[in-house]
Structure 1
Amino acid sequence: MWLAVAAGLGLAAPASANDSTAELATGGLRLVQDPDIRMDSEDLFLSMKEIRVRYVFHNTSDQPKTVLVAFPLPPLPAATDGGVAPAMPSWTSETNFLDFSTEVDGKPVDMSLQEKATVLGIDQTDLLKSLGVPLNPNGKATSDALEKVPTDRWRELEERGLVQVWPGSSDSPGELHQQWTLEAIYYWQQTFPPNQDVVVTHRYRPSVGLTSGITFEQQPEAGDYARRFCTDKAFLGGVAKMQAEWKRTQKDGLYPVEARLDYILKTGANWEGTIGNFRLVIDKGTPTGLISTCLDGLRKIGPTQFELVRKDFEPTGDIAILFALPISAVQE
C-alpha cells in the first residue's frame, strides 16, 4: 500500500523534501447512458486509506435495462528516472493495484478486465504480450520478464518507445527500463429491473501522493498549490504552527509531511439528469491534521471529518485535497 511506499522512501524519520510519490487521480463508476436509469443518490467517502462509494440507481421504465458499467483505473505510468514513482496501494498486484471491489445489492460482482500498454496513446500491448512481459510497468514480474527478453528484440522495444536501453559493461549487454503506461478498465453488464432500485457499492485504496516535509511554500509550487487546492492564510498559518511545534520538540512523530488526493467527480454526470441526493465525507485521518480543498460548503462533523450535502447535484469539476499532517499519521 502507499504507506509501505512511504516507508521505502525513508519517511520513518525526517527526510529531504525530494522524497516523494506521485498521486494518481481516481474516480467513480461510468454507465452507458440510458434515459430511464436515474441516480437517486451517491454517498462518497474520501480518506487517505480508503475510498467508498454507494450509489442508488432507479430504473424508471416498465422494462428491464441492461447496460455496460465500467470503472476505469487511473493511467499508470512507469516510474520516472528521477525516482518519483506513482503511488500504488498494492505493489503485489499486476493489475488491481487499487484493490478495487464492487458489490451490487450486497453481492460481489464478477468483473472483466481490459488492459493495454500505450506509448503516446498508441497501443503496444501485442508486442509486450508476445514477449511474455506483463503490462504493469512498475511490477516486479515485469522487471523480471524484461531481463529475459532476447537482446535481438531490444531495438524494436526501444524504437516503439516501450523501453530505454541503459548501457552495460564488458560482461553485460545493458538493462531495459520500461517507459509505457498501463490503461485498465474493469467492467460488467448490469441489469436494472423495471421500477426498482439497484444499490451499487465499490471501495478501493486510493493512490495518495506523499512528500516528506512541506514543499508547497516554495515557488513556483506555492502558486500551483493555491490554484489547485485553494490554500489560504488560515491553512498556511496552521501549517506554520505545525512546523514550529516540530522544530521546538524535535519529536520524529511530529515531523510535518504533505499528502495529495485527487478524485474525478464529474463522471457522475454521465447518466441522465442530476444526482438526487449527494453526500460527501472527507476524513483527514488525525485531529491534528489539516486539509485544504477548493470545495465550497464543507462543514465539520467530527474531530477528523467534513461533510458536503447537495440535492439535485450535477458535478462539473473534480476534487483535489491537500493534507498537512504529522508523519505519525501516515505510519499507522
Structure 2
Amino acid sequence: MLLAFGLCAFQAHANDSMARIGTHGLELVKSDRVRMATERLDISTQRIQVRYQFINESTVDVPAVVAFPLPRYGWNPGAAMIDGNEYPLRPFEVKVDGQSVPSRMSRRALLEGRDVTVALRRAGLKDAEVFDTFGCRGSECEFSPRVAAALKRMKALSIDGYPTWEVEEAAYWDIRFPAGRSLKVEHDYAPKVGMVYSVPYWDGQWNEQMLPSPARRKDGERGDPACLADSARAEVEQRVRREVAAGAKGVQVVLRDVEYVLGTGRNWKGPIGDFTLRVQKEAVDDIVALCLPGKLLQLDAKTLEFHASDFTPPDRLVLHFYRVEPSR
C-alpha cells in the first residue's frame, strides 16, 4: 500500500515522514499505526543529529518507504560566503537500530514552484546540468544558442543568462516496522548554513539600519521566523553598544542561520511522545534566536535545551546564531 508514487514540495532539513513512490516522485503520507515515541534533535551550524524511536502499535509488520526532505539549492557564482550553500547536501547517513541503511535520492527541478525537470531535459540539458552543475563551470555559464533560446522561452535564464531554477531533493529508504516493537532511526549530516554580515558601527559612524531586524525571506514570506524581536535583537544591540563603549573602531554582526522542518513529524500517529531539542553554539558569546512554545534551558556555556512531552511540532524551526565581532 505504501509503495506507490506521487510528489509534494520538499524544503530545508526535515523530520522523517512515511512516503509512497509513484510516477512523479515522492509523496508524504500519514500513518495510523506507527508512532514517533521520542525525538532527540541536536542542531549546530556544523552538524545536525537526529535520533528517533518509532513504535508500531499494530499487530502486523508495516513495510514502508521513509522520506527525509533536504534543502533546496540553486546555481550561484560562489563570489561570497553565502554562495557556498548552493550545492547538493552530501553525505547523508541513515542508521536503523545501529545498522547503516542505503538511501536513494528523489530530485526534481523547480521554477517558480513548477516542476520543470522534463522541460529542461527537452531543452537539451543532461541530468548533471539540471541537478548538479546547472550547465555552468565556475562562475561562467555557456549554453549553445539552441539551448539558450529554449531556456529563455521557459524563463529558466535570468537577463544575464544565468540559471534560475532550483533543485529539490528528498532522501528515502525502505524500512519495516515490526509489529508491537520499537525501532531506532538516526541521521547525521552537515547542514546548509546561511551566512550574512552587517556593520552597524565603523570609525565613529552608526548605521542603525544595519542592526538585525525581522527580514523578508527569499520565498516572499514576511514576519519574524526566528522570533528575533522577542529578546535577541535587544541583546545584539546591547552587545554592539558595549563594544563601542569599550573603544572598538568598528563592530560587525555575523548571522549564521539553519532551518529545519518539524511539521513532517505530524505525519505519524499522534503527537511526538517525548521531544528534546539541543542547540549547540560555536562560541560562548553567540546569541541564539528561534521560535518555540516554551523556554530554552541553559545546560552549559554553549548548550541550550528545549524539552516537551506529547509535542505537536510547528511547521519549522529557523535558528539564528549571531556573533558580534569588534575591531580595535
With normalisation by structure 1, the TM-score equals 0.75
Could you say which residue in structure 1 is the equivalent of 2:45?
Answer: 48
Q: Contact conserved, 2:31 with 2:267, CA < 8 A, in 1?
A: no
2:168 to 170, 183, 189: 183
1:10-49 mapped onto 2 (5 Å cutoff): 25-31=12-18, 32-49=29-46
Q: For 2:40 and 2:55, how far apart are their aligned partners in 1? A: 15
Q: Does 1:207 align with 2:192?
A: yes
Counterpart in the other structure of 2:156: 162
Tell me which residue corresponds to 1:14: none
- The residue number in structure 1 matching 2:300 is 302
Cα distance change, pair 324–74 in 1 and its aligned pair in 2 (3 A): same
AA aligned to 2:191 is P
1:204–1:302 Cα change, 3 Å: same
User: What SS does the corresponding residue of 2:158 show, helix, strand or coil?
Assistant: strand
Question: Residues of 2 paired with 1:39 and 1:102: CA distance?
Answer: 17
| Identity across the alignment (%) | 24
C-alpha separation in 2, matches of 1:301 and 1:118: 42
- Alpha-carbon contact 2:134-2:163 (below 8 Å) kept: no
Looking at structure 1, the residues matched to 175 and 111 of structure 2 have their Cα atoms a distance apart, in angstroms, of 32
Per-residue deviation, residues 92-112 of structure 1 (Å, max 9, x unmatched): xx64x2532211111122112
Give, as a single letter, the amino acid of the residue that structure 2 aligns with 1:302: D
1:231, distance to aligned residue in structure 2 (A): 2.9
Report the secondary structure of 1:227's partner residue. coil
1:222 aligns with 2:213: yes
Paired residue for 1:109? 101
CA distance in 2, matches of 1:81, 1:280: 32
The amino acid across from 2:15 in the alignment is G
Distance 1:197 1:189, change over 3 A: same
Matched to 1:230, the amino acid is: C
**What is the CA distance between 1:203 and its match in structure 2?**
1.8
Where does residue 272 of structure 1 map in the other structure? 269
Q: 1:299 and 1:221, CA in 2 relative to 1: closer, same or farther beyond 3 A?
A: closer
Tell me the amino acid that sits aligned with residue 108 of structure 1.
Answer: S
Structure 1, residues 264-302: CA drift from partner, whole Å, max 9, x if none? 112111111111111111112211111122222211111
| 1: CA distance, partners of 2:151 / 2:320 | 38
| Greater RCO structure (CA 8 Å; 6+ sep) | 1
Contact 2:279–2:305, Cα closer than 8 Å, also in 1: yes
Q: Is the 8 A contact 1:212 1:257 kept in 2?
A: yes
AA of the residue aligned to 1:202: H
Code of the aligned partner of 2:96 = V
Deviation at 1:43, TM superposition (A): 0.4
- Aligned residue in 1 for 2:66: 69
Contact 1:116 1:135 in 2 (8 A): no
Kindly state the Cα deviation for residue 74 of structure 1 after the two structures are TM-superposed: 2.2
Q: Give the Cα separation in 2 of the matches to 1:233 and 1:184.
A: 33
Distance 1:105 1:81, change over 3 A: closer
User: For 2:84 and 2:130, how far apart are their aligned partners in 1?
Assistant: 13
Distance in 1, matches of 2:230 and 2:58, equals: 51
Matched residue, 1:170: none
Kept in 2: contact 1:213–1:255 (CA 8 A) = yes
State the distance in 1 between where 2:239 and 2:127 align: 46
2:180 pairs with 1:195? yes
Unaligned runs of 5+ in 1: 1-23, 167-175
Q: By how many angstroms is 1:136 displaced?
A: 5.7
Could you say what the CA RMSD is over the residues aligned between the two structures, in angstroms?
3.4
**Structure 2 unaligned regions, length at least 5:** 1-10, 19-28, 201-206, 217-222
Q: 2:112 aligns with which of 114, 120, 142?
A: 120
Aligned counterpart for 2:136 among listed residues 129, 140, 143: 143
1:126 deviates by 3.1
Contact 2:96 2:183 in 1 (8 A): yes
SS at match of 2:268: coil
Q: CA deviation at 1:66?
A: 0.4
CA distance in 2, matches of 1:81, 1:106: 37
Deviations 1:145-192 (A, max 9, x none): 9956432232111111222364xxxxxxxxx41111111111122111
- Give the whole-Å Cα distance in 1 for the aligned partners of 2:208 and 2:185: 41
The CA distance in 2 between the partners of 1:142 and 1:303, in whole Å, is 46
2:15 touches 2:68 (CA, 8 Å); kept in 1?
A: yes
Question: Match of 1:321, as an amino acid?
Answer: L
Contact 2:125 2:135 in 1 (8 A): no
What is the CA distance between 1:319 and its match in structure 2? Answer: 1.5
Cα distance 1:217–1:274, how it changes in 2: closer, same or farther (>3 A)? farther
- Matched residue, 1:240: 237
